[in-house]
Amino acid sequence: MQVLDGQALAKKIRACIKEEVQRIVQMGKRPPGLAVVLVGDDPASQLYVNMKEKACRQVGMYSKKLLLPADISEAELLDNIGALNEDEKIDGILVQLPLPNGLNEHIVNENINEDKDVDGFSPVNFGKLHLGIKGFEPCTPKGIIRLLKEYGIQIRGRHAVVVGRSNIVGKPVAALLLRENATVTVCHSKTENLAEYTSKADILVSAVGKPHMIKKDMVKEGAVVIDAGTSKVDGKLYGDCDYEEMVDKVSWITPVPGGVGPMTIAMLLENTLEAYKRHVLKNTDSQ
């Protein structure tokens, strides 16, 4: 068994981004800017937003955090997003999910300018992903593919099984695996005999958020296991997969924490830098 070290790869990616941002600033240009919108005071969301803000600062990007009350109206939230769409210092906009009850995340994502949608959740970017057109890819799925490629793991021709069908991880990672020419099976809460599918996977991606739901007897000998599901029990973070139990059976596995999570933030920074380049080049071309 070998560990897919997302922490180490993310550190390398962030170092490269930091160097590029420094070159941009040394040329007398403004740094790339990311706005993170947090609605309400959910502790987990606050933690994620603070981590993203800190990561921005560490690579020299401009970070703007917009804290909005949980009882904000949808119209007011959309007005705030509209202002960020027009803000020339902002290249990427991220609205932290989940949103409080009464706010429709699909409508919110629809109103983020597709060129600033660094989370890849707008209908335009989501559509581009499934059509195989270049756009912003959701950060966690993008990080998973990067991790597999960095460690030289063959995707082409392999049978990949994705457990979970969320718009954030399950569906987009299935689309990206298809793009890499894997044969993909998607399982979900209504799948009967889940182990029948997971035990045939060359590459298993689980993104459910149920602690240790994937056991050793549910994975194939020598499989590659990507654990993208996290949940907290008594303050401790668990993945979907029983890491300790299956380490001797699989060929590669991501730890929780330290696997997929750090890659998600690294891809967010990478998408923001890409958005900046498109933004600045487009403005330069129009002058």
Q: How far apart are CA 215 and CA 171, in angstroms?
A: 23
Residue 12 φ/ψ, nearest 5 degrees:
-65, -45
Q: Where are the domains of the chain?
A: 29-114, 139-261
Asked if the domains at 29-114 and 139-261 fall in one CATH topology, the answer is yes
What is the pTM assigned to this prediction? 0.94
Lowest mean pLDDT across 35-44, 136-145, 268-277: 35-44
Q: Which CATH fold topology does 139-261 show?
A: Rossmann fold (3.40.50)
Superfamily of domain 29-114: Leucine Dehydrogenase, chain A, domain 1 (3.40.50.10860)
Instruction: Give the per-residue pLDDT at 77.
Output: 98
Tell me what percent of the residues of the chain surpass a pLDDT of 90.
91
Q: For residue 68, how far is the Cα from the chain centroid?
A: 23
Express each pLDDT in 63-108 by its tens digit. Answer: 999 999 999 999 999 999 999 999 999 999 999 999 999 999 999 9
Residue 281 has pLDDT above 90, yes or no: no
Residue 10 has pLDDT above 50, yes or no: yes
Instruction: Give the per-residue pLDDT at 269.
Output: 98
Lowest mean pLDDT across 44-53, 112-121, 261-270: 44-53
Residue 286 has pLDDT above 90, yes or no: no
Q: How far apart are CA 169 and CA 164, in angstroms?
A: 8
Integer angstrom CA distances of residue 22 from 16, 60, 82: 10, 7, 29
Tokens 């581009």, residue located: 128
Q: How far apart are CA 81 and CA 68, in angstroms?
A: 11
Express each pLDDT in 200-220 by its tens digit. Answer: 999 999 999 999 999 999 999
Catalytic positions, written as ranges = 52, 96, 119
Instruction: Give the per-residue pLDDT at 279.
Output: 86
